[in-house]
Amino acid sequence: MSVTLRQKLTNTGRYSWNLDIYHEGKRISKSLKLYTTIKPKTEAEKIHNADVKRLAEKIRLNTEAELINSNYSKFGSKQTEISFLDYFAKLTKERRRSDGTFANWDSTYKVLKQYFGNRPKKLIEMSETDLVAIRKFISEKYRTKSNQTLSRNAASSYFNKVKAAFNAAFDEKLVDVKIASRVKGLKPEDTKREFLTEEEVMQLLKTPCSFPLLKQAFFFSVFCGLRWSDVVNLKWGDIQSTGDRTFIRYRQEKTRHAETADLNNNAIAQLGERMADDQKVFKGLRYSAWNNVKLAQWVMSAGIKKHITFHCARHTFATLLLTKDIDIYTVSKLLGHRELKTTQIYGKVIDRRKNQAVKVLDFDL
């Protein structure tokens, strides 16, 4: 078994790079479609030649590793021929049933489509340099329809999707190097997380909504902390009871982790009449701009002057628990967070606790 690189002189006066593979008595020659200048004169030509040589060697090592791992059947297949953009499109399509997640992946795909243009690059050829270039394009060069750069948080979110795609390719053994771990992400800015106070929750409960199903789903999230994607996909079979305990067993759409979440009476009160196990609990609820408008109108009619989205229900669940002195570790588990630092962001928004803390020094002087 051997994998070697070979240069071939072309009619244009350049070297083309080829991979010569000898495996199990068979010899295969494959063009890498990489080219170098024969006698580089400028600094740019020298750098280009060096980059091509490094990439060719990387491909040779990847191929050799596949042979050693008896995984050669993949080489030359459609999987290794796929471009990174097409691979990202495949991952995006797989997330179609998760509305919020799909929208973010689809937006990222459109940014990548503009980045690559008519220069698609194979997944197996992607390098750290490519990933850094994509990060720069997303954070500095990409322009929206209104000719604006992306916000820091949008850029951070999009680039995280790109890194996730590279990690997925590694997990699928389509590439042998986890390059995403070698490139830093874009640090997001702290944003204001809107939530409802207990008084506002009561106020909103008393206010009619023109879309009752949306109101039920929103308050179900307020009282149990589920994300929109998990609420909208919840089925009756996920809800179980034993004795005086009612709980749901489900797989988070965002993380794909299995979770068990207990339901309190207020959450149970938002559920309608139980249907067949394969039926959705909030049947007819879908993500749409129309729903967002209905939610905003409902909040406004309650006299609440905050920008409340469906995800604010989850924020409300977390902050209400913290204001009622539930320890942050327990809240983290109830939210299904894997890391405590993810939950700690909610601690920043509770002004009541800050106010109580400073008042302990209000003693007579």
* Predicted local confidence at residue 4, as pLDDT: 92
At how many degrees (to 10) do helices 152-171 and 99-116 cross? 90
Distances (CA, A) of 3 to 21, 27, 52, 97, 125: 5, 10, 17, 43, 17
* Predicted local confidence at residue 25, as pLDDT: 66
When pLDDT is averaged across residues 343-356 and rounded to a whole number, the result is 65
* Predicted local confidence at residue 67, as pLDDT: 72
Report pLDDT digits (tens) over 172-182.
Answer: 888 878 889 98
Tell me whether residue 147 is exposed, middle or buried, using C-beta atoms within 10 angstroms of its C-beta: 0 to 12, 13 to 18, 19 or more: exposed
Q: What is the mean pLDDT of the chain?
A: 87
When pLDDT is averaged across residues 56-71 and rounded to a whole number, the result is 78
CATH number of 79-182: 1.10.150.130
Contact residues for 267 (Cβ-Cβ < 8 A; gap 6+): 220, 223, 224
Report pLDDT digits (tens) over 246-305.
Answer: 999 988 877 777 889 999 999 999 998 999 999 999 999 988 888 899 999 999 999 999
Helix (H) or strand (E) holding 333: helix 328-335
* β 26-37/14-23 pair status: antiparallel
Predicted structure pTM score: 0.57
* Predicted local confidence at residue 263, as pLDDT: 95
Domain chopping of the chain, boundaries: 2-73, 79-182, 198-357
Nearest 5 degrees, angle CA 272-CA 283-CA 221? 65
Contacts of 7-13 with CB under 8 Å at 24 or more apart are 7/36, 9/38, 10/35, 13/38
365: pLDDT confidence band, cut at 50, 70 and 90?
low
Report pLDDT digits (tens) over 72-127.
Answer: 444 445 455 789 999 999 999 988 765 557 888 999 999 999 999 988 899 988 98
Contacts of 262-270 with CB under 8 Å at 24 or more apart are 263/223, 263/224, 263/239, 264/223, 264/224, 266/219, 266/223, 267/220, 267/223, 267/224, 270/216, 270/217, 270/219, 270/220, 270/223
Q: Which CATH architecture has domain 198-357?
A: Orthogonal Bundle (1.10)
